């Protein structure tokens, strides 16, 4: 990762905090205006939090996928211009709060609108956009996109419960169950892939505009993979999970010594950082490929973690 060689002033602002009329900041007009304002003030770095889709608690540090983009950030005005949604459909979001994000109300409303956009993609998109979407899918499908789409379909089927609480056939990715799902849910799977394409298409345009205005984008990367994520579900063998999907958790040593609770993320097996086993978490080179520079969360000097079992006590034991 290249380090900034020259000293620059900047600002940290997550995209959800951008102003807008639809309940949450989006990759649209307000984002471009913010870059214009930074350019006028000679601010050279825009830092933001991870752009991945959020799960329970709506924290960007507990993403449903380390690779996918957060659909809530998709600009609906741009989708309307391309014919994927109508003005009447997006007007339902205008009753949401302006100064704060009400995720409980926002998520079901915007998810429904985006689902319609994804389903309409093939009929509405231009031939050039369909070709670009197909290229995007071809590039990312085997690495993460197909698994993420399956994961999203299954989360809806299981009322948003964590994957280790699903029907065992789906939690363990039984081949027969997965094959049947791919057949019956083909429309939803393709729609989710189209939504991901629309996110990255909008984000790529914003990145290009930032380069034009000489504003560097600095993203953020969670250190640990979330337990309730497509990544943990698709590749559990890369994590410290037992056969019942109980995880070995981590807790900063200084907090464990004070009796504080362990954090909920599963860990990589000791020694897994050697060799090729970290491809799943090689996130600085993978989508969302969100910025020209990135940082990892909690970059504390001398940071140490203690591993404790999910069923264990925070009594200072562990390794």
Residue 134 CA to residue 100 CA, distance in Å, equals 36
Q: What does the pLDDT read at residue 290?
A: 53
- pLDDT tens digits for range 272-283: 444 434 444 444
Whether residue 297 has pLDDT greater than 90: no
Which has more pLDDT, 195 or 313? 195
Q: How confident is the model at residue 301 (pLDDT cuts 50, 70, 90)?
A: very low
Sign of the Cα pseudo-torsion (118, 196, 157, 174, in order): positive
Strand ranges across the sheet with 293-296: 10-12, 45-47, 216-221, 293-296
Q: What does the pLDDT read at residue 241?
A: 73
3-class SS letters over the chain? CCCCCCCCCEEECCHHHCCCCCCCCCCCHHHHHHHHHHHHCCCCEEECCCCCCECCCCCCCCECCCCCCCHHHCCHHHHHHCCCCCHHHHHHHHHCCCCCCCHHHHHHHHHHHHHHHHHHHHHHCCHHHHHHHHHHHHHHHHHHHHHHHHHHHHHHHCCCCCHHHCCHHHHCCCHHHHHHHHHHCHHHHHHHHHHHHHHHHHHHHHHHHHHHCCCEEEEEECCCCCCCCHHHHHCHHHCCECCCCCEEEEEEHHHHCCCCCCEEEECCCCCCCCCCCCHHHCHHHCCCCCCCEEEECCCCCCCCEEEEECCCCCCCCCC
Enter the tokens of residue 62: 């507990």
Using CA atoms, how far residue 45 sits from 34, 208, 221, in Å, is 12, 14, 17
Residue 268 CA to residue 278 CA, distance in Å, equals 9
Whether residue 3 has pLDDT greater than 80: no
Q: How confident is the model at residue 263 (pLDDT cuts 50, 70, 90)?
A: low
Residues 30 and 20: beta-carbon distance below 8 Å: yes
Whether residue 62 has pLDDT greater than 80: yes
For the segment 199-226, the average pLDDT, to the nearest whole number, is 92
Whether residue 258 has pLDDT greater than 80: no
- Structural domains in the chain, sorted by start: 10-230+269-304 (3.20.20.80)
- pLDDT tens digits for range 114-157: 999 999 999 999 999 999 999 999 999 999 999 999 999 999 99
């Amino acid at each position: 990762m290249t380090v900034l060689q020259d000293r620059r002033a900047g600002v940290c602002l997550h995209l959800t905090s951008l102003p807008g009329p639809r309940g949450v900041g989006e990759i649209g007009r307000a984002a471009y205006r913010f870059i214009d304002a930074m350019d006028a003030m000679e601010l050279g770095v825009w830092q933001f939090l991870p752009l991945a889709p959020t799960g329970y608690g709506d924290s960007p540090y507990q993403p449903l996928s380390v690779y996918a983009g957060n659909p809530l950030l998709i600009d609906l005005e741009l989708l309307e211009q391309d014919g994927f949604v109508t003005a009447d459909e997006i007007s339902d979001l205008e009753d949401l709060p302006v100064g704060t994000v009400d995720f409980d109300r926002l998520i079901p409303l915007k998810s429904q609108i985006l689902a319609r956009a994804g389903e309409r993609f093939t009929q509405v998109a231009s031939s050039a956009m369909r070709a670009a979407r197909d290229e995007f899918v071809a590039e990312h499908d085997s690495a993460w996109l197909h698994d993420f789409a399956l994961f999203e379909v299954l989360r809806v089927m299981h009322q948003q419960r964590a994957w280790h609480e699903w029907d065992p056939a789906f939690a363990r990715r039984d081949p027969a169950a997965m094959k049947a799902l791919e057949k019956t849910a083909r429309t939803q799977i393709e729609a989710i892939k189209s939504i991901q394409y629309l996110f990255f298409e909008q984000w790529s345009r914003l990145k290009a505009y930032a380069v034009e205005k000489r504003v560097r984008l600095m993203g953020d990367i969670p250190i640990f993979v979330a337990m309730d994520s497509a990544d943990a579900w698709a590749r559990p063998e890369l994590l410290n999970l037992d056969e019942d999907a109980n995880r070995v958790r981590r807790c900063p040593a200084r907090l464990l010594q004070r009796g504080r609770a362990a954090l909920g993320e599963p860990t990589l097996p000791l020694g897994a950082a050697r060799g090729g086993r970290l491809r799943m978490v090689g996130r600085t080179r993978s989508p969302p490929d969100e910025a020209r520079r990135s940082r990892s969360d909690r970059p504390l000097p001398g940071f140490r973690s203690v591993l404790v079992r999910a069923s264990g006590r925070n009594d200072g034991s562990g390794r």
